[in-house]
Chains A and B, each alone.
Chain A
Amino acid sequence: MAATPTPSQLGQIEQNPYKADFPLLANNPELVFLDSAATAQRPAAVLDAQRSFYETMNANPLRGLYRLSVEATQAIDAARAHIASFIGATDDADKPQKNAIVFTRNASEALNLLARTLPQVVELGPGDDVVISIMEHHSNLIPWQQVCAATGANLVYLRPDEDFCITNAEIEAKIGPHAKIVSVTHVSNVLGVANDVAAIAARAHEVGALCIADGAQSVPHVSVNVRELGCDFLAFSAHKMGGPLGIGVLWGKPELLDAMPPFLTGGEMIDSVTETDAVWSPVPQKFEAGTQDAAGSYATDACLSYLQQLGMDKIEERERLLAAYLCERLQEKDYITIVGPSQPERHIGAVSFDVAGVHPHDVASILDMQGICIRAGHHCAQPLLSYLGWHSTCRASVAFYNDKSDIDRLADGLDQVWGIFNGSR
């Protein structure tokens, strides 16, 4: 794709057949929502599914022997199968690996689950390396800091070059013979760049390490296929895709999930319990203690259907155009510095930037007064910002339900910010 959107591509992003599907956006036509990297808006299809679950099949899943409970269980089961096929998690007979889909509250919990259980499996100890990247969201950073502090393992960081790329040389140098666990973000929530997870996973396996991909910022925006990525685990959140809040997903290779000890314990995750011991249920129930959010799983299923109906390839193309146009409008302004790659086509969803001499919180407040929502701060990635020499940045992020006018409003809003701080109003 050319870096600069052509007139016909601009025409594409001027059209917006999607906004009407999102009640919050449809009911607030003046609102400019450019914070989808934090959480997406939800389409009516998801809200309807959530309500429909409670109205037609509400019962405690797994537990009951009556029809309603069975339906609730089937709803969760169907969602697992749909999610598995959505991320390309299929077995050799091309059937979705539904039992390799574990529901959590969010991607953070999925990553914590791995940090709490994998060290036992790989017998992590002093002298071993856990390799992450400096681009990690705190949710894929602090759990590993904690693991390393508890086990004596070293925390090793993959660092991008000046072009925001984690090179093959860096991958080879940092993922060495001592590496046992490698956990990297697929797409950076600050820079918007994609990391080469396939190369990282291949290197990890070459040295006998496991590879985890944090897909929180990639699964909503690009077609993700775990077989192509070659990772052993993938974590992501439904709410960043337009699904409900409170549903996270962990996919793992079945043999690894089988070998892992449970994370949380209690009801629904056991086969039998005595006064002194318990036998765990098979995966995925082993990792799902307590009553699950069946309505949320059902609504996530509906979310995937909605996205597939639009077509992930179409979503990806439109979002790349939007992000590229966003980048270009920002680059027009000499008072703005983009924190991330200068090539517009490398941004997936998010573009971080600085307004010269204006604190990002002031930028966000003044934009908010104009009905424009962006994120400002450290984006839960303080080590990355320190590494890049920033304390905080502004971040605008797009989803397919945005259009050209949203970005034009942001560009005008930023001129107003600049004017206020430079005396020309």
Chain B
Amino acid sequence: MEVASLYNAQFMDHVSHPDYKYELEGATHEHDGVNPSCGDELHLAIRLGTDGRIEEAAYTGHGCAVSMASADMMSDLMVGKTPEEALALCDLFKGMITGDEKDEDKLEEELDEAAMLKDVSHMPARVKCAQLAWRTLAEMLKNNTAEATTTE
């Protein structure tokens, strides 16, 4: 695999200059995600508007570039989505990352930038990194449990 295929400039921009890595004000939902063996720790927050759509999503934490870039791309994608739409996107992302969903047009149309992470499906050891933010969001929306999500 070419180095540039995953760690490309666009990907690295999310790592070096994240748009959504901050404490969210007025959060309505918050949830932690951890990958203990990697040391990835993510705190994800969203603010659900009165129209039932996600107004803003943001995260804090630390981890590898794949987990952090993935969280940044996801936060961008989720703005304006209903919780149901968000959950469907989390499922689609999971399908892409595990290699079950290969329809590239569909992936690019629905996941936008996050579709670039499809190369991770060829890197089994990194799947849990890419999935951390998405699983954390899905857990948050499915049940308001206080228990942290882990993708290990």
Contacts and interface: CB of A to CB of B under 8 A. Distances in A.
Question: Does A associate with B in a complex?
Answer: yes
Interface stretch (A325-333, A344-352, A365-373): A365-373
Nearest to B35: A361
B125 A420 contact: no
Nearest to A382: B37
Given A377-B37, A378-B37, A420-B12, A361 B126 contact: yes
Contacts of B12: 420-421, 423
B146 interface: no
Contacts of A391: 39
Interface string B33-66: 0000111000000000000000000000001111
Given A358-B65, A421-B15, A366 B7 contact: yes
A369 B1 contact: yes
A189 B16 CA distance: 33
A362 B64 contact: yes
Interface string A384-425: 000000011000000000000000000000001000110100
B16 A392 contact: no
B3 A366 contact: yes
B2 interface: yes
Contact of B38 (A358, A361, A370): A361
A359 B64 contact: yes
Nearest to B12: A420
A425 B1 CA distance: 17
B129 interface: yes
B6 A392 contact: no
A369 B65 contact: no
Contacts of B64: 359, 361-362
B126 A420 contact: no
B66 A369 contact: no
B7 A420 contact: yes
Contacts, number: 48
Interface residues of A, number: 17
Interface string B15-30: 1100000000000000
Contacts of A423: 12, 16
A378 to B, nearest CB: 7
A365 B120 CA distance: 10
Contact of A362 (B5, B39, B66): B66
Interface string A113-137: 0000000000000000000000000
Contacts of B6: 365, 369
Nearest to A367: B3
Contact of B123 (A365, A378, A392): A365
A358 B15 CA distance: 10
A361 B35 CA distance: 12
Contacts of A361: 38, 64, 66, 125-126, 129
Contacts of A362: 7, 64-66
Contacts of A365: 6-7, 66, 123, 125-126
Contacts of A366: 3, 7
B56 to A, nearest CB: 27
A416 B3 CA distance: 9
Interface centre among A361, A391, A420, A421 (most CB of B within 10 A): A361
Contacts of A420: 3, 7, 12
A391 B40 CA distance: 10
A358 B68 CA distance: 12
A369 B39 contact: no
A377 B123 CA distance: 15
B80 to A, nearest CB: 31
Contacts of B15: 421
Contacts of B3: 366, 369-370, 416, 420
B108 to A, nearest CB: 22
Interface string B114-133: 00000000010110010000
B1 A359 contact: no
Contacts of B65: 358-359, 362, 421
Nearest to A358: B65
Contacts of B126: 361, 365
Nearest to A359: B64
Contacts of B37: 377-378
Nearest to A370: B3
7 contacts: A359-B64, A361-B125, A365-B7, A365-B66, A366-B7, A369-B3, A378-B37
Interface of A: 358-359, 361-362, 365-366, 368-370, 377-378, 391-392, 416, 420-421, 423
Given A359-B64, A420-B12, 13 more contacts: A359-B39, A361-B38, A361-B129, A362-B7, A362-B64, A362-B65, A365-B6, A365-B123, A365-B125, A368-B1, A369-B2, A369-B6, A378-B37
Give 4 nearest A-B pairs by CB, closest first: A359-B64, A391-B39, A369-B3, A362-B65
